[in-house]
């Protein structure tokens, strides 16, 4: 990302569609955390518990709620959602580097590939036969795109991404380095005294506005399709097994693994280091706490967070922890 010349607080407020309080001519050159911000920096205050720290901060401009205390020397952009508007401001202060359309001379591209002329192909990229690359796509150095795959408009593939054959990726995808999409699912059958590989001949389909973190893996289906819905965000080092069906706007945090055939409903949230057994079903808007274990074929219902291994409603999990704590205290108490 590149920084842009400093803009005034009033200009930034106007671009965010928000009301400004204080000195509209104050210059904003960068963004910073509340404790580190200086006179030329923008920061945000998400909660009243940080008001005191905000008043002590040297930040030049704040994005904060309307009840942030007024002060003559404070420039405040008022927002009902400070964190969300701060994220928008970051995109304005640190825009993406300009697109440089063209194909690097070291790229190896099959003659049958269709590449929009507005696309940027970096050094040492390889693209297999029949692939289709949409408009304004950026493909980073040493990325490999397999045969008969498709990358939607305005997508960004960072360096060293591996896209196997027969993978479809929607528009505005953001795929970080080391991600592998379309590798074989883990399918083996015991035949006599040895395991034999079950050919994985399915596909992967990824919707629009999906982000896939560094070193994450999405396996192709054994038969049929592994699906990632629109707007879903995968953190780093997430594994999605073969034939999983992930809904729209799902959040999956780092080091989580889903076995084959798992379904996840829209807007579900899955914490870090969660393990999900094969053919489990996670309903829409369900919440799974970090480190939980979901047994095979288990149904996680929406409406109450689950935690622990095996996962159970959070209130039950906390009650069990309290009971175990009381038992431990009784056992360690000295005898009368």
Residues with catalytic annotation? 242
Contact 42, 20 (CB under 8 A): no
Cα gap 176→184, rounded to integer Å: 20
Among candidate residues 167, 166, 159, 111, the one with its CA nearest the CA of residue 138: 159
Neighbours of 213 (CB within 10 A): 20
Residue 50 is classified by DSSP as G
Furthest-apart CA atoms within the chain: distance in Å: 87
Q: What DSSP designation does 197 have?
A: E
Alpha-carbon gap, residue 202 to 167, rounded angstroms: 9
Residue among 167, 149, 173 at smallest CA distance from 205: 167
Q: In whole angstroms, give the CA distance from residue 305 to residue 313.
A: 6
What's the CA gap between 3 and 35, in Å, rounded? Answer: 21
Q: How many CB atoms lie within 10 A of CB 17?
A: 9
Q: Is 69 helix (H, G, I), strand (E, B) or coil?
A: coil
The vertex-106 CA angle with 104 and 108, nearest 5°, equals 100
| Sequence-ordered list of residues with C-beta below 8 angstroms from that of 55, at least 6 positions apart, any chain | 69, 71, 74
Tokens representing residue 259 in the block = 């076995």
């Amino acid at each position: 990302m590149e920084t842009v010349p400093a803009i005034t607080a009033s200009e930034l407020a106007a671009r965010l569609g928000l009301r400004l309080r204080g000195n509209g001519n104050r210059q904003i050159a960068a963004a910073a955390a509340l404790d580190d911000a200086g006179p030329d920096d923008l920061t945000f205050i998400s909660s009243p518990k940080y008001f005191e720290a905000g008043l002590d901060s040297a930040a030049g401009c704040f994005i904060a709620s309307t009840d942030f205390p007024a002060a003559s020397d404070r420039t405040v952009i008022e927002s009902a959602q400070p964190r969300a508007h701060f994220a928008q401001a970051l995109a304005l202060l640190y825009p993406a580097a300009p697109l440089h359309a063209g194909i690097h001379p070291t790229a190896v591209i099959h003659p049958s590939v269709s590449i929009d002329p507005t696309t940027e192909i970096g050094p040492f990229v390889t693209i297999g036969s029949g692939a289709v690359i949409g408009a304004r796509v950026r493909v980073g150095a040493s990325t490999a795109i397999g045969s008969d795959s498709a990358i939607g408009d305005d997508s960004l593939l960072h360096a060293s991404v591996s896209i196997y054959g027969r993978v479809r990726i929607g528009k505005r995808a953001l795929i970080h380095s080391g991600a592998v999409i379309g590798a074989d699912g883990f399918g083996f059958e015991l035949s006599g005294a040895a395991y034999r590989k079950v050919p994985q001949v399915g596909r992967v389909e990824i919707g629009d506005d999906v982000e896939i973190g560094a070193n994450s893996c999405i396996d192709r289906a054994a038969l049929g399709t592994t699906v990632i819905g629109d707007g879903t965000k995968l953190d780093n080092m997430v594994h999605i097994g073969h034939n999983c069906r992930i809904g729209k706007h799902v959040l999956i945090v780092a080091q989580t693994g889903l076995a084959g055939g798992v379904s996840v409903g829209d807007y579900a949230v899955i914490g870090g280091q969660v393990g999900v057994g094969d053919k489990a079903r996670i309903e829409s808007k369900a919440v799974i706490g970090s480190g939980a274990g979901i047994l095979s074929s288990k149904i996680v219902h929406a409406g109450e967070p689950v935690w622990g291994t095996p996962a159970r409603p959070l209130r039950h999990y906390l009650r069990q922890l309290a009971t175990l704590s009381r038992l431990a205290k009784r056992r360690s108490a000295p005898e009368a």
